Amino acid sequence: MPETQVPPQKAGHDPMSPLAPSTPADPRAGAELHDAPEGQHHHPKASPALVLSCLGVVFGDIGTSPLYALRESLVHAREHHMAETAVIGIVSMLFWTVVLIVTVKYVILILRADNNGEGGTLSLVAKAQGALGRRAWWLYLTGVVGVSLFFGDAIITPAMSVMSAVEGMDLVFPGFGKWVVPVTLAIVIALFWVQRSGTEAVSRLFGPVMLVWFGTMAVLGALHLFDDARILQALNPLRAASFIATNGFGALPVMGSVFLAVTGAEALYADMGHFGRRPVRISWLAIVFPALAISYFGQGAMVLSHPETAVNPFFLLAPSWFTLPLVLLATAATVIASQAVISGAFSVSQQAVQLGLLPRLEIQHTSDTQAGQIYMPRVNTMLMVGVCALVLAFGSSARLASAYGIAVTGDMVITSILAIIVFRFSWGWRWPVVLAIMLPILAVELIFFYANILKVPDGGYIPLLFAVVVITFMVVWMRGSQLIQQKLSAESVQIDFLAGKLTDSPPTIVPGTAVFLTADPAIAPPALMHNLKHNRVLHERNFIVKVETAPTPTVSDENRIRIEQIAPRFWRVWLRFGYMEQPNVPRALALAKERGHKFDIMSTSYFLNRRSLRVGKARVMPLWASRLYAGMYRSASEPTNFYRLPSNRVVELGQQINI
């Protein structure tokens, strides 16, 4: 398989600019760096502890969908005056939607499409790019849209799931309804507040709590399974088809709510890198799927037998004495589900930064033992504000359900399109096989997408607006960085030419090592030019360093560094990091010792270029875009922290650029 290429973000950001590292613009840059061949990634064994941990992280979102999926579907059924037996058709749709989309598409198929063990939309984009063997802008844009929709979903999931659990208190304490919003806000704010201290300790409880949750869900469903045995007819997929055929367009609003049953399915693929595909599959097939199926069938049987329970079928499964414990357990499960989405948002943001889709964002590592435990203050604040705004604006999970689903369906459609490319061009499946498997799945997802589009006037515009904002930020950032780099490259001096001139007539030579970080190792870094111009000195050893992002999640130490000599005192260096790694330049340079280059921390200086942007002078972009880009540029985190440079060995030299 050809080496995977992440799409053209390269244009070479300057590491001193807030643009994150990118893939090699120069084909020579990666010539000696080879990624691990596909299939050589070793997934961890499916130990009981790993399966238990998997329950807490991967299945939190989809595991709490029985709280509201059938309830909201029945609401739409009543609005369209459907027969009571429509419950059988709705439960059949719930069951077979979970089977087709989660079990067949994700658990059986998509989990195989890992990128060196990692999953998620960006991993699938990188794999599809490698499968095509070329950079396709439309494929990259598809990935950007998918990531943006994920962020749209990330602000709705905590609001929807926590609020639906808290609303159950009204069954225990009548009149509690007026406290639902304040209590939900308190839980949400507390959840986001604890992110800064890390979740490693409390996350150990996630698995056991979710195991209790799924066990309780299955037991409660089983107790009511034979309230009306007709519900077992829902096992026949023809009942779902008959429901759609009988109700025509009237079935679409119901289908929009049925899709709530599979929200969170993307997590199976996105979180695969933490656990491996076997623990995810075992957890789903042995615990989660049976519990969900029994719960939906139990709720359906109860509603058939007692139609008045349709107002809140999940909580009414429980005997009155168990309602309060069930509400507390549901609240704990929804907090865990929200935590999984928040952690996923941090991971996706880190990948987006590494791939050059967003400016550098501050990343704090909250665990000494788990690399994936990170905290991103700005992303956390943005999500918290968004979630609280949704809780205040909608006020109930029933109203918020109108905004839920559209982002998920869009993301799933994008995943299916990317999967078709991978199945055909990476796995070598023939077109008839690919289309026979994926077209039915894609057709079902498109129908659900259309059903959710009908929710736009009632709140579905919320995740779409959020996604549009994220896409705008990403496109402006990528375009602005590309234009600035083109402008700088046109005005720059080739490093080979400069090194030759300085070798022939050197300025004053001072002892020590100078490291110049740059986006394009073919040209002289501005910091080097400013140092020569103002200080009129040259160090004994000068390294022009480019930080690249590989199309793989991680990079081994043997593939981390490549060095090429330019002239007697000049070397060109490529440092490569995976898109899920935090760049650590000093540690990577220490690997050069095996190649005869020692970087002594006390004699090595890091030269950075600090740019000042003047908006409206050059008009390289529309004025609004230039102002947005300049604002993002100024808000980026310091390169010293991002690249883990020793702050007492960093020298910054200024440069003004008109945009």
In DSSP notation, 551-575 reads SSS---GGGTEEEEEEETTEEEEEE
* pLDDT of 45: 64
* Distance between CA atoms of residues 520 and 221, nearest Å: 61
Give, in order, the Cα–Cα distances in Å from 225 to each of 217, 406, 540. Answer: 12, 31, 80
Please, what is the Cα angle at 229 between 228 and 232, to 5 degrees?
Answer: 125
pLDDT tens string 39-78? 344 455 668 888 888 888 788 889 999 999 999 999 989 8
Percent of the chain with pLDDT over 90: 43
CATH number belonging to domain 48-459: 1.20.1740
* Distance between CA atoms of residues 594 and 583, nearest Å: 20
Domain limits of the chain? 48-459, 486-658
Burial of 448 (0-12, 13-18, 19+ CB in 10 A): buried
Length of the chain: 659
Cα dihedral 437, 440, 443, 449 sign: negative
* Distance between CA atoms of residues 531 and 55, nearest Å: 55
* pLDDT of 44: 53
For 31-68, letters b (16+ CB in 10 Å) and e give: eebebeeeeebebeebeeebbbbbbbbbbbbbbbbbbb
Low-confidence ranges of the chain (pLDDT < 70): 1-46, 117, 135, 199-202, 273-274, 366-373
Give SS3 for 608.
strand
Backbone Cα Rg of the chain = 27
Q: Which helix (H) or strand (E) holds 278?
A: helix 277-283
pLDDT tens string 370-388? 555 678 899 999 999 999 9
* Distance between CA atoms of residues 219 and 576, nearest Å: 51
* pLDDT of 535: 85
